[in-house]
């Protein structure tokens, strides 16, 4: 199946997890939580929503509600935890673990909604709340995780877990609670715990600063263009959007090209003006290291050192060893071996692709009677599009009229889910919205019972963080009696009023990908909130969403949604054939830019504390990391450079490899599905029952084996990425 080469890398993060409130923190400074707090009676965060499936009261929630709800929620949560820790009765599963699962209701609700709104539509008030409360949340979490009486109860249950009469899910819950507390420092001495508190507080404060700097830099680094002639190659709609952006900034008569938080930028394949392409690229890669008020080099240097300190405090040589111990990969060596196996082949392929691009440049320049020039990073997307047109006789502009956004969602993404799982969708216009550019749907099981509510938030805006992601406002659990309220977010440029939203193929496959995350949340069928939905290891969470991409060009699905937005005509078969023929085109570039970031992440987090860079050494250390990995190939810079590498600040520290690790599982699973009938209810029901519904209630790798019947193999990934020959090609 044809897939966007790195749609998976657009998932900036899966917002707040389904873990208990105290386990959701990013951490930060040393302000103590309020001992008690009162919430106004009209604060909607303090009570459970009465809307369907506890859908949030976006119509009532105001920014002023968050602070009081946080204060009261932390105070309430601490009272609950103290009651558990000081319970005179002997610890039991019910009076300790289940009591913890039920704790922190107000705090969890308020933090989940705030985190989601702050990511998708922030403002000055929310930025201030984020900065003010990150330290308090860190202190709050440590007050619980480092509570010796509480841990003693959990430890007792853990040591006697086999005699508690629990089923498999209950036993795993005890084990995971114990692991979570130990990895938070529960076994440390009191002096070491104080050091841990300091590290967590400082880390959280810096993490908030890093995230806000990234968003501010994206907005501050937009490229101003003086004349329309410089925009030659862009569509009329894109030029109009650039003019409107300039007008909104008080630059009437000029044009502004906004940036996304990736190294490559969407307009580069189209812009004929090489000087402008260079300006855009250089503006993109300079973000966070310009020496201005949003410079992140000093911030990330401090974050890395604090992480190394924490790992050392926990008895590990570096952050990567600490993180990977609790992943499906298990060890630094396993990750290094896998990435190391991919890197040489990826770079070799990228160099072959570069030779084709250079040949195209040479021919064009010779035809114009002008001297040739060396391929640079800002030329890659432009000339690869030309080579693709030359080799396969199509470009994205031919595809876009067949991919109107809402039609792709309803007649593509939803249609595939209905065919596979029997679920149905109905738009709800009666539920409140947090932003007008969103759509809301109720989701039903085949028997008509409620399954979930789904929010779709597609458009880019200055108040929204970059990338694409899923989050849950409400997570399923039998204990709480809840079903899922989930949302998908993308950063698709919004067209002018009255114009259709036409998608690139990458945006189409990203839509399928993100909905795979939402299916993981919707189909959750677990007892305990701790295990709900996407509460799985980082190197497993991308796997189900990558599998869902396979349906984007599955013939029956594609035929249902790939229709011309004006005429309704189906996409011509020959155009689809060209798209499929080009599936492995430019995979050397795609894999190399991804591996550049993945191996940079590992390099930074495998360094000993005394070798970590200071602020003025960060960019040189990045260069050294790429060289050490054999990825210092100038025409293909990493997808994210260190100062705007949001993943490693937002939960993927030493974990960005997870996308390619998950893709190994994905490639194996797609192969299994194709060999077992493809788009069938039997396959959908099997995937739902053995894997999607289980959340984190079972070992992640075992879930994969339960579905496929075998251990993961790397060969399907190498074939998919064009890094190894496809036996099917040889047979033809």
Residue with tokens 């795993």: 172
52-186 CATH pick, 3.90.1150.10, 1.20.1630.10, 1.20.1050.40, 3.40.50.300? 1.20.1050.40
**What angle do the packed helices 414-421 and 681-690 form, to 10 degrees?**
90
How buried is 316 (Cβ within 10 angstroms: 0-12 exposed, 13-18 middle, 19+ buried)? middle
- What is the rounded distance in angstroms from the CA atom of residue 376 to the CA atom of residue 372? 12
Question: What parts of the chain have a pLDDT lower than 50?
Answer: 1-19, 21-22, 25-37, 39
CA distances from 228 to 240, 278, 349 (A): 10, 17, 37
| Inter-residue contact 37 to 140 (CB < 8 Å) | no
> Of 566, 549, 573, 527, which Cα lies nearest the Cα of 695?
527
Helix or strand holding residue 636 (H, E): none
Same fold, 52-186 and 317-392+588-657: no
> Of 69, 56, 45, 643, which Cα lies nearest the Cα of 300?
643
The structure tokens listed for 564 are: 């011309």
Residue 440 CB partners (closer than 8 Å, separation 6+): 427, 428, 429, 431, 433, 453, 454, 455, 456
Reduced DSSP (H G I as helix, E B as strand, rest coil) percent helix, strand, coil of the chain, to 5? 60, 5, 35
| Inter-residue contact 134 to 114 (CB < 8 Å) | no
pLDDT for 395 equals 78
| Inter-residue contact 377 to 281 (CB < 8 Å) | yes
Question: Which one from 309, 353, 514, 549 is the annotated catalytic residue?
Answer: 514
Residue 92 backbone dihedrals phi, psi, to 5 degrees: -130, 170
- What is the rounded distance in angstroms from the CA atom of residue 318 to the CA atom of residue 312? 7
Is 3.40.50.261 the CATH number for 404-561+661-721? no
pLDDT for 417 equals 98
| Inter-residue contact 585 to 391 (CB < 8 Å) | yes
* Domain segments of the chain as ranges: 52-186, 223-286, 317-392+588-657, 404-561+661-721
CATH top class, domain 317-392+588-657:
mainly alpha
Q: What is the full DSSP assignment across 347-361?
A: HHHHHHHHHHHHHHH
Q: Quick one: residue 711, left, alpha or beta (phi over 0 = left, psi -120 to 50 = alpha)?
A: beta
The structure tokens listed for 34 are: 């309020």
> Of 219, 221, 224, 283, which Cα lies nearest the Cα of 256?
224
Tell me whether residue 410 is one of the annotated catalytic residues: no
4-16 b/e (C-beta count within 10 Å ≥ 16 → b) = bbbbbbbbbbbbb
| CA 524 to centroid of chain Cα atoms | 19
Residue count of the chain? 732
pLDDT for 394 equals 78
């Amino acid at each position: 199946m044809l897939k966007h080469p790195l749609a998976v890398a657009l998932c900036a993060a899966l917002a707040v997890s389904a873990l208990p409130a105290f386990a959701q923190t990013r951490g930060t400074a040393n302000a103590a939580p309020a001992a008690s707090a009162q919430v106004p009676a009209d604060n909607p965060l303090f009570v459970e929503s009465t809307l369907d499936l506890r859908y949030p009261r976006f119509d009532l929630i105001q920014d002023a509600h968050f602070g009081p709800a946080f204060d009261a929620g932390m105070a309430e949560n601490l009272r609950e935890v103290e009651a558990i820790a000081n319970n005179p009765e002997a610890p039991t599963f019910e009076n300790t673990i289940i009591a913890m699962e039920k704790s922190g209701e107000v705090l969890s609700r308020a933090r989940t909604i705030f985190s989601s709104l702050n990511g998708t539509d922030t403002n000055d008030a929310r930025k201030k709340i984020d900065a003010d409360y990150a330290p308090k949340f860190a202190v709050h979490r440590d007050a619980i995780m480092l509570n010796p009486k509480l841990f003693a109860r959990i430890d007792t249950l853990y040591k006697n877990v086999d005699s508690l009469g629990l089923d498999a899910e209950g036993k795993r819950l005890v084990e995971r609670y114990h692991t979570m507390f130990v990895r938070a420092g529960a076994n440390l001495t009191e002096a070491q715990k104080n050091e841990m508190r300091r590290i967590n507080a400082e880390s959280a404060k810096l993490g908030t600063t890093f995230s806000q700097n990234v968003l501010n830099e994206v907005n501050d680094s937009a490229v101003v263009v003086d004349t329309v002639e410089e925009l030659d190659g862009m569509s009329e709609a894109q030029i109009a959007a650039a003019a409107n952006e300039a007008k909104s900034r008080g630059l009437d008569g000029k044009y502004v090209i906004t940036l996304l938080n990736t190294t490559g930028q969407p307009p580069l394949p189209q812009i004929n003006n090489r000087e402008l392409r260079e300006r855009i690229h250089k503006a993109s890669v300079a973000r966070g290291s310009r020496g201005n008020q949003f410079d992140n080099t000093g911030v990330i240097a401090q974050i890395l050192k604090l992480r190394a300190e924490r790992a050392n405090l926990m008895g590990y040589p570096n952050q990567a060893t600490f993180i990977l111990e609790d992943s499906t990969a298990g060890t630094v060596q396993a990750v290094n071996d896998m990435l190391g196996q991919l890197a040489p082949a990826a770079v070799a392929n990228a160099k072959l692709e570069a030779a084709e691009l250079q040949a195209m440049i040479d021919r064009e320049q010779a035809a114009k009677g002008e001297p040739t020039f060396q391929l640079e990073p800002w030329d890659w997307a432009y000339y690869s599009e030309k080579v693709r047109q030359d080799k396969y006789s199509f470009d994205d502009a031919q595809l876009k009229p067949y991919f109107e956004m809402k039609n792709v969602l309803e007649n593509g993404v939803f249609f595939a889910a209905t065919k596979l799982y029997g679920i149905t969708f109905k738009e709800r216009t009666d539920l409140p919205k947090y932003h007008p550019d969103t759509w809301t749907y109720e989701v039903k099981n085949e028997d008509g019972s409620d399954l979930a509510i789904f929010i779709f938030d597609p458009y880019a805006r200055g108040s929204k963080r970059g990338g694409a992601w899923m989050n849950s406002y409400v997570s399923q659990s039998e204990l709480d009696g809840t079903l899922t309220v989930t949302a998908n977010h993308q950063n698709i440029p919004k067209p002018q009023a009255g114009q259709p939203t036409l998608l690139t193929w990458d945006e189409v496959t990203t839509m399928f990908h993100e909905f795979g995350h939402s299916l993981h949340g919707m189909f959750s069928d677990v007892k305990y909130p701790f295990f709900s939905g996407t509460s799985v290891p980082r190197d497993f969470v991308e796997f189900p969403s990558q599998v869902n991409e396979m349906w984007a060009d599955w013939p029956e699905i594609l035929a249902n949604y790939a229709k011309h937005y004006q005429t309704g005509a189906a996409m011509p078969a020959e155009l689809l054939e060209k798209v499929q023929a080009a599936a492995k085109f430019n995979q050397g570039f795609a894999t190399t830019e991804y591996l550049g970031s993945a191996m940079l992440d590992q390099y930074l987090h495998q360094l000993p504390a005394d070798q970590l860079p200071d602020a003025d050494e960060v960019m040189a250390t990045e260069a050294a990391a790429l060289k050490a990995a054999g990825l210092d190939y100038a025409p293909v810079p990493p997808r994210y450079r260190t100062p705007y590498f949001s993943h490693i600040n937002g939960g993927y520290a030493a974990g960005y490899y997870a996308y390619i690790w998950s893709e190994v599982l994905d490639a194996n699973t797609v192969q299994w599905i194709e060999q077992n009938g493809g788009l069938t209810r039997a396959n959908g029901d099997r995937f739902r029952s053995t894997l999607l519904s289980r959340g984190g209630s079972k070992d992640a790798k075992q879930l994969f084996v339960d579905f496929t019947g075998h251990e993961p193999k790397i060969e399907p990934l190498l074939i998919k990425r064009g890094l190894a020959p496809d036996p099917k090609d040889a047979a033809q």
